[in-house]
Amino acid sequence: MGFPAGEPEQGGKLALDVLIAEDEPSILESLDFILRRAGWSISAVTDGDAVLEAVRRLRPRLLVLDVMLPKRSGFEVLKQIRADSLTADLPVLILTAKGQQLDRRTAEELGASSFVTKPYANADVVGAVRRLLGEGVAG
Amino acid sequence: MRAPIGIRISSRRRTLAVSQAELARRIGISASYLNLIERNKRDVGGTLLLRIAAELQIDIEELTGASEHRLIADLEEAFADPLLQPLAPPAGTARQLVAEQPFAATAIARLHRAYQGALASVDDYANRLQADPLFSQLLHQILSGITAVRSSAEILEEPDLDEAARARFGATIGREARGLADTTRTLIGHFDREAGPRRAVSPVRELDDLIFARNNYFAGLEAAAVDLRAEIEGYGPFGEATLAAALAGRHQVGIRRSVSRELDALGFPGQYHFDPASRTMWFQTSAIAATRQFQLTRLYVELGAAAVIEAEVTAAQLSTEAARRLAYRALASYLAGAVAFPYERFLADAEAARYDIEVLRQIHTASFEQVAHRLVTLRRPGHEGIPFRLPALRSGRASHQAFSAARPAAAQQRPRLSALGHLRRLPHPRCTGAPGGPLHRWVALPVHRPGGNAAHLAFPRAFGLYLGDAGLRRAACRPYRLCRRTRPGRSGGGRPGRADLPAVHPPRLRRPPGGGAGAGRRPGSDPRPTGAALLLTNGRD
């Protein structure tokens, strides 16, 4: 399924604010929309393997990471990001499912920066991204 | 607080109105010696203690205070329950209660046991729901759909939305709503089927029944195991290094080890997992040699002989996909066990080592559970080992349950323990087997957790004793004793000498002299020992 946000930015000249890793097209579409609308530059990937490559190439300021990704789970991705000195400090916002305490515990152990629980309110996501990017409410 | 054994003997003797001289005569010692024992001036144990207990018609555990000890341990465990922590029971409460209010102590211990059992069942059901792949997939779909609908609807509520966005997110809501309707229908259908008569049998139960029907022995898998073993041994003597070479050579699989925890196949932090995409088997460095060897074997058979396992599963005609998946996993483990521990050799080693699991572990680089599991599969017609039943104890709680169930007092809760390991309740629990039928007796021995508080009994180890002959009932009711482990019967050249480790063996089983209890005896019955001790720990690997 083609999706405009999935197009990588050329040459990495513009610093990327947020990389979204989410495989559900409708969720990705709305995430892309609300985060762009809040003023950030966005890029997206839809499977676990692509995340690591995109993080290294695009150097985003923040990663929004769904736990249930195809090919390589969000946990696995998070672990590898934390293991790589280039990306170890990248803030990672985990999208987890309501009621999955075990997921949340695992993600915490693996070094997640923050969580948003599905089904979320858009304002929750925007607020969490804003906090992790160190921008004030006005930002 | 605990009365010394001599006082117990003398008090019991007086209760029965037997004189010291008379009891001494019956048990074959001098009256003065019995007098010394009763005054705690002489130790008493072994067969003498057995004779005294028999003459005094009292359970030896009562005489030695072991049952009281266990009750204290049970109470301490109950008081250590997080539920009771706010009450901060003072140290020594358990001991005092057992001494002063034995009935209340027993009641508390039983209630706590029942509570633990209920908790375990709840966990079991919750896990079953979570572990059902179809169920969790449907839930995931519903959650994703709702997330998309909610987020899109919020976008539509925004005031200055352009028409293109409005149309796009309107369409998303419509599409996701239709998807949700379909998913919900599937989910409801799933539950309808679950409730139907065809689905009345749980997948676990169905797998149990299959294993029972096959008497724990799968000839097709055993035959395949011989070929697979030969295939692996083409790369060198069987072991971890050879398995690695065989996996690399035949299946292009590499092995990776790291210190940190990673996620296993189910997405939980574990000790190993295979990533089919990169064809890499990962082990945490702390995974023991037995785990590595077994998991490599398992991977080898799953990659090389999936069709054989599939064929067995298909032949079993299981009614649900979940049961087929369970059966596939169980039979893959079976096949791995048959490859790692070849039937003939393993049986010969088991006989030589008198089914001493520790010895078998060392010979075969195996974990306790792997050995125990292989022992229950030694059922080749005409070439059987001693019959075992093996409960798989996956947690301390389950272990405790089996421990509790070991005692006649807990006969109501005595689980039926099936071969590949699922605790199940007996429909008609009996302390001992039905007349003429097979007899199971479960006993348990509390052990201290290494490095733990010596006063606190951690996970008890249970010993399962299977007796094929109801005539042995009386023998089975005798207590176990700690024995010195003997060297394997045959010359174990190169094998570790292990005479220095204590082992537990069942009491020598003697047929009762005459009497109706001998009814189960068959002429020409096998002279081999008919019972063996099987240690059950809470280890998981």
CB within 8 Å: A118 and B143: yes
Contacts A49 to B, Cβ<8 Å: 277
Give the tokens for residue B473.
Answer: 């009932």
pLDDT value, residue B68: 80
A17 pLDDT more than 60: yes
Chain-chain contact of A121 with B154 (C-beta, under 8 angstroms)? yes
pLDDT of residue A98: 64
What is the pairing mode between strands A62-66 and A18-21? Answer: parallel
Chain-centre distance of CA B38, in angstroms?
Answer: 41
Asked whether B143 and A98 are in contact (CB, 8 A), the reply is yes
Q: How confident is the model at residue B286 (pLDDT cuts 50, 70, 90)?
A: confident
Between B283 and B423, the more confident residue is B283
Q: Is the pLDDT of residue B129 over 80?
A: no
pLDDT at B201: 57
Structure tokens, B524: 């020409």
Enter the tokens of residue B263. Answer: 């996620």
What CA–CA distance (Å, rounded) separates B335 from B443? 30
Give the one of B148, B260, B262 whose C-beta lies nearest to A27's C-beta.
B148
| B281: confidence class by pLDDT, cuts 50, 70, 90 | very high
Backbone phi, psi, residue B384, to 5°: -90, 155
A122 CB neighbours in chain B (<8 A) are 151, 154-155
User: In this predicted model, what pLDDT tens digit does every residue of A43-64 receive, in sequence order?
Assistant: 999 988 899 999 999 999 999 9
- Residue contacts between A and B (CB atoms, under 8 Å): 74
Q: Give the separation between CA B98 and CA B508, rounded to whole angstroms.
A: 32
Go through the domains of chain A in sequence order and give each one's CATH number: 16-120 (3.40.50.2300)
Residue contact B151–A97, C-beta within 8 A: no
- Residue B389, pLDDT > 70, answer no
Cα–Cα distance for residue pair A92/B387, rounded to 1 Å:
55
H-run or E-run covering A45: strand A42-45
CA dist B453 and B244 (Å) reads 41
The mean predicted confidence, pLDDT, of chain B is 69
A49, A102, A118 member nearest B147 (Cβ): A118
pLDDT tens for B410-457 read 232 333 332 222 222 222 222 333 333 333 333 232 233 333 332 222
pLDDT for the residue numbered B130: 64
Q: Which residue, chain included where needed, has tokens 């309110």?
A: A121
Mutate to test the interface with B, among A23, A29, A30 (most CBs of B within 10 A): A30
Range scoring the smallest mean pLDDT among B7-21, B200-214, B384-398, B465-479: B465-479
Q: What integer pLDDT is reported at residue B265 of this predicted model?
A: 63
CB B205 within 8 A of CB B321: no
How many CA atoms lie within 13 Å of B534's alpha carbon, on the beta-carbon side?
29
pLDDT of residue B242: 94
Q: Tell which residue, A98, A35, A33, A89, has the closest CA to residue A67.
A: A98
Compare CB distances from A27 to B147, B261, B277 and report the shortest one's residue. Answer: B147
Q: What is the pLDDT of residue B264?
A: 67
> How would residue B97 be classed by pLDDT, with cut points 50, 70 and 90?
confident
Class (C level, CATH) for B5-116: mainly alpha
Residue B483 pLDDT grade (very low, low, confident, very high; cuts 50, 70, 90):
very low
Q: Report pLDDT for B48.
A: 87
Of A37, A75, A123, the CB nearest to B263: A75
Give B401→chain A minimum CA distance, Å: 25
Q: What is the pLDDT of residues B503-527, one digit of tens each?
A: 333 333 333 333 333 333 333 333 3
Angstrom distance (rounded) from CA B208 to CA B211: 5
A46 vs B: CB within 8 A: no
pLDDT above 50 (res B137)? yes
| Residue B282 near residue B272 (C-beta atoms within 8 A) | yes
B124 burial class (0-12, 13-18, 19+ CB within 10 angstroms)?
Answer: middle
At residue A31, the pLDDT reads 96
Query: Per the CB < 8 Å rule, is A106 touching B154?
Result: no
Q: What is the pLDDT of residues B142-158, one digit of tens each?
A: 889 999 999 999 999 98
pLDDT for residue B454: 29
| CB neighbour class for B415 (10 Å; exposed up to 12, middle 13-18, buried from 19) | buried
What letters, b where the CB count within 10 A reaches 16 and e where it falls short, cover A39-65? ebbbbbbbebbbbbebbeebebbbbbb
Work out the average pLDDT over B167-176. Answer: 92
Residue B176: its pLDDT value, please? 92
C-alpha triplet B70, B121, B330: angle, nearest 5°: 100
Three-state secondary-structure class, residue B529: coil
B321-370 pLDDT tens trace: 888 888 898 899 999 999 999 999 999 998 887 777 777 888 898 887 78
**Token pair listed for B71:** 């009750």
B chain contacts of residue A31, beta-carbon cutoff 8 Å: 151
Specify the pLDDT at position B3. Answer: 52
How far apart, in whole angstroms, are the C-alpha atoms of residue B444 and residue B462? Answer: 4
Q: Is the pLDDT of residue B378 over 80?
A: yes
Per-position b or e across B338-362, b if 16+ CB within 10 A of its CB = bbbbbbeebbebbbbbbbbbbbbbe
CATH number of B213-340: 1.10.10
Assess whether pLDDT exceeds 60 at residue B189. Answer: yes
Residue B388: the pLDDT is 57
B164 contacts: CB under 8 Å, gap ≥ 6: none
Is the pLDDT at A118 greater than 70? The verdict is yes
Higher pLDDT, B244 or B447: B244
Highest mean pLDDT among A135-139, B59-63, B305-309, B337-341: B337-341
Instruction: Give the tokens for residue B325.
Output: 């998946």
Nearest Cα of chain A lies from the Cα of B81 at a distance, in angstroms, of 23
Rounded to 5°, angle at Cα B134 from B132 and B139:
95
Q: In this structure, are residues B303 and B253 in contact, taking their beta carbons and an 8 Å threshold?
A: yes
Q: What local confidence, expressed as pLDDT, does residue B95 receive?
A: 83
**Mean pLDDT value across residues B290-304:** 93
- Chain A contacts of B150, Cβ < 8 Å? 119-121
Q: Which residue of A has its CA nearest to B268?
A: A106
Q: What are phi and psi of B273, to 5 degrees?
A: -160, 160
Q: Name residue, tokens 């005092």.
A: B96
A10 contacts chain B (CB < 8 A): no
- The type of residue at B352 is A
Mean of per-residue pLDDT scores for chain A? 84
Q: How far is it, in rounded angstroms, from Cα B411 to Cα B430?
A: 6
DSSP B496: P
Distance from CA of B173 to the nearest CA of A (A): 9
**Cβ contacts of B348 within 8 Å, gap of 6 or more:** none
Measure the N-to-C terminal CA separation of chain A; round to a whole number of Å: 33
Residue recorded with tokens 């007086």: B14
Cβ contacts of A106 on chain B, cutoff 8 Å: 263, 267-269
Q: Is A48 within 8 Å of A73 (Cβ atoms)?
A: yes
Residue of chain B whose Cα is closest to the Cα of A23: B144
Mark out chain B residues that contact chain A at CB-CB < 8 A. 139-140, 143-148, 150-152, 154-155, 158, 165, 168-169, 172, 175-176, 260-263, 267-269, 277
Which has the higher per-residue pLDDT, B383 or B473? B383
The neighbouring-strand residues paired with B481 are B505
Task: Name the residue of chain A whose CA is nearest to B260's CA.
Answer: A79
Each residue's pLDDT tens digit, A87-97: 999 999 999 87
Query: What is the pLDDT, as a whole number, of residue B391?
Result: 39
**Per-residue model confidence (pLDDT) at position B128:** 65
The reply to whether A47 touches chain B by the CB within 8 Å rule is: no
- The confidence band for B70, taking pLDDT boundaries of 50, 70 and 90, is confident
A68:B148 CB<8 A: no
> How buried is B228 (Cβ within 10 angstroms: 0-12 exposed, 13-18 middle, 19+ buried)?
buried
